[in-house]
Chain A
């Protein structure tokens, strides 16, 4: 393969989300940009409230009012989807974007057999008849590793264990053959051994089909195992974006550095884990300048007065005035 410039499946440019509230306009997502290529997995990490899920919801167009996209653009396979009308969006998103939710207990309708939920989705998006849809549903369940899928297809969600249910959810997300899957903390509600299986499954299916994944999580271990690229978010802004190896081993943004130092995975051998002092600021009182400066070990005057620019660093991008401690 020669150098081919692959068109990204999902391309987000300068995306901002605003929520008007009594305290003024909050921006849970601010000027966020990233691309996901076909078959690649982008991990989005950050603390609770960093804007990870908000970004995911913005991409699929399921922001709950009054939250709305206030700027930037979202392109799916080159086509803008952020300014589509409701009806057009309705057609695009289910077909092109699949979603795996956090809690498999509530992401399936408890009163419908799983087969029915699958065939319903397939019929909605693929030009097949009922029998074919049924066959596809069984095939999809077999693919995600549900034993005796043909018999289990008439079972209700409560007849499955949590891990099995999450497999069904993955089958549901993939059955319409989307080009992008958004997985919002898909393993948070599962126990550790099942987590590994689900992650491996998700990874394998997307490699095979060339589906791009946006994996939202706060678990660095999951990212290390799965993702090709990582986007680290802090207070709604992109802190660092780059290939997973670079970001995990030689982070350039001070926040990522702090994050890695406080992750057991990267801090092998150390007696005590270090921690980042303080807590993430609330959206209602973001500090002036760089949002991270009150907790940043290398913050200087410039950080307190001006928001940090996003610059090329360490094979990716980082939003910091002093990448690697040097003045840029």
Chain B
């Protein structure tokens, strides 16, 4: 068993995929950055020097400490400074990334499930069903994604009781961003499905008496997953940015659960009063996160697209 695992690892290491990875410094660098950021977010409760959401540990006297300088009242030093409430910026970034990444991953998972399912159906069944799905997609594409997300967010907010709004906000955010991004998946999957369904192995499966759902899931889906993986990666960056945008506009993550976007919005108020660190560091983190994921997606697209080799 252990040997088989070792073999698999060796085979994977020797594969074209890993070969390309080892030969692409950009891929390695962005992978390391993305991994560090994700690890930081996952392990935030363990590595953050402070818990920024526990009011008991906050000291207002620590407010507006500059990075790496001892606070003039308490003498405490914060790596990246503190905000107006005395919250450690480094810690808020770690916890903010948790929200950003969670929303990003969940929104992409939602968009992917929805888009892949509808794309498969549209491509395999075709006819008026496929036409209907794709026309809905076309109509949605005529609106900017962020507008769609805001619309959905606004409607959903109207339906949630006021006392639950803060809790629901994250989930509404996920659905809103997910719904604004499913079109990409649906289009690509539909195209790939239409190519695959005319291949003879699908005909063979049909002849074999398999049901349409079985053919779609077992035979077509695995064969169209390559491009889906690429879009998922690029969508992840987009979803994180969309979440940050919504939060920056004040319609996203609530201040009680600040994401990177919320942090940037908070920091924006102090941009011209000299406390530059409150906005700068969350922004840099967002930039690094989106950029590394995007570069990984670009590399993935090059590797998985045989035409670009």
**A97 x B204 contact (CB < 8 A):** no
Q: Is B50 an interface residue (CB 8 A)?
A: no
B223 and A124 within 8 A (CB): no
Inter-chain contacts of B222 with A (CB < 8 A): 109, 111-112
Contact of B204 with A91 in the complex, beta carbons under 8 Å: no
Q: Does A304 contact B (CB under 8 A)?
A: no
Task: Count how many chain B residues have C-beta atoms less than 8 Å from C-beta atoms of the other chain.
Answer: 15
Does any Cβ of A come within 8 Å of B199's Cβ? yes
Q: Is A93 an interface residue (CB 8 A)?
A: yes
Report A82-120 residues with CB < 8 Å from chain B CB: 90-91, 93-95, 97, 99, 101-103, 106-112, 120
Known contacts A109-B219, A111-B223: A62-B200 contact under CB 8 Å: no
Contacts of A103 in B (CB 8 A): 200
Contact with A62, one of B206, B211, B219 (Cβ below 8 angstroms): B206
A-B contact count (CB 8 A): 50
**A280 CB, nearest partner CB in chain B, Å:** 24
B136 within 8 A of A: no
Q: Are A90 and B209 in contact (CB under 8 A)?
A: yes
Tell me whether A207 is interfacial, beta carbon within 8 Å: no
Chain A residues with Cβ under 8 A from B206's Cβ? 62
Contact of B201 among A93, A94, A107 (CB under 8 A): A107
Q: A110-B223, A111-B223 are in contact. Are A121 and B200 (CB under 8 A)?
A: no
Which chain A positions have C-beta within 8 A of B205? 109
Find the B residue at minimum CB distance from A91.
Answer: B209
Interface residue? A125 (CB, 8 A): yes
B200 and A94 form a contact (CB under 8 A): no
With contacts A107-B201, A110-B223 known, is A99 near B209, CB below 8 A? no
- Bound complex: CA of A172 vs CA of B204, how far in Å? 9
B90 CB to closest chain A CB (Å) equals 45
Nearest-Cβ distance from residue B75 to partner chain A, whole angstroms = 62
* Mask of B186-213 contacts with A, CB within 8 angstroms, 1/0: 0000000000000111011111111100
Cβ of A60 within 8 Å of any chain B Cβ, yes or no, is yes
Whether B223 lies near A99 (C-beta < 8 A) is no
Are the C-beta atoms of A94 and B208 separated by less than 8 Å? yes
Distance in angstroms between the alpha carbons of A239 and B9 in the assembled complex: 61
Q: Is the pair B207, A109 in contact by a Cβ cutoff of 8 Å?
A: no
B228 to chain A minimum Cβ distance, whole angstroms, is: 14
Query: How far, in whole Å, are A177 and B211 apart by their CA atoms in the complex?
Result: 21
Q: Are the CB atoms of B201 and A124 closer together than 8 Å?
A: no
List residues 202-237 of chain B with CB under 8 A from any CB of chain A. Answer: 203-211, 219, 222-223
Select B209's contact among A94, A101, A106, A112, beta carbons within 8 Å.
Answer: A94
Q: Which chain B residue lies CB-closest to A90?
A: B209
Contacts A109-B219, A110-B223, A111-B222 given; does A97 touch B200 at CB 8 Å: no
A93/B200 contact (C-beta < 8 A), A109-B219, A111-B223 known: no
Interface contact A62-B208, CB-CB below 8 Å: no
Report A282 CB to chain B, min CB distance, Å: 23
Given contacts A107-B200, A107-B204, A172-B204, contact A93 B209 (CB under 8 A): yes
A106 in contact with B208 given A111-B222, A111-B223 (CB within 8 Å): no
CB < 8 Å neighbour of A106 from B201, B207, B211 = B201
Residues on the B chain within 8 Å of A60, using CB: 207
* Distance in angstroms between the alpha carbons of A94 and B200 in the assembled complex: 15
What residues of chain A lie closer than 8 Å to B204, measured between beta carbons?
A: 99, 101, 107, 172
Whether the pair B201, A109 counts as a contact (CB closer than 8 A) is yes
In the bound complex, CA of A90 to CA of B201 (Å)? 16
| Smallest beta-carbon distance B107→chain A, Å | 28
Chain B nearest CB: distance from A165 CB in Å?
Answer: 11
Complex Cα–Cα for A125 and B208 (A):
9
A94 to B222 alpha-carbon distance, docked (Å): 23
With the chains together, A124 CA to B204 CA distance in Å? 13
A18 to chain B, nearest CB (A): 19
Q: Within the assembled complex, what's the spacing in Å between the Cα atoms of A91 and B211?
A: 11
Give Cα A124–Cα B210 distance, bound, in whole angstroms. 9
B231: min CB distance to chain A, Å: 19
13 A–B contact pairs at CB < 8 A? A60-B207, A93-B207, A97-B207, A101-B200, A102-B200, A107-B204, A109-B201, A109-B205, A109-B219, A109-B223, A110-B223, A124-B210, A125-B208
Where the two chains meet, the residues of A that have a C-beta atom closer than 8 Å to any C-beta of B are 60, 62, 90-91, 93-95, 97, 99, 101-103, 106-112, 120-121, 124-125, 172
Interface residues of B (CB under 8 A from A): 199-201, 203-211, 219, 222-223
Additional A-B contact list (19), CB under 8 Å, known A93-B209, A94-B209? A62-B203, A62-B207, A90-B211, A91-B209, A94-B207, A95-B209, A99-B203, A99-B207, A101-B203, A106-B199, A106-B201, A107-B203, A109-B205, A109-B223, A110-B201, A110-B223, A111-B223, A121-B208, A125-B208
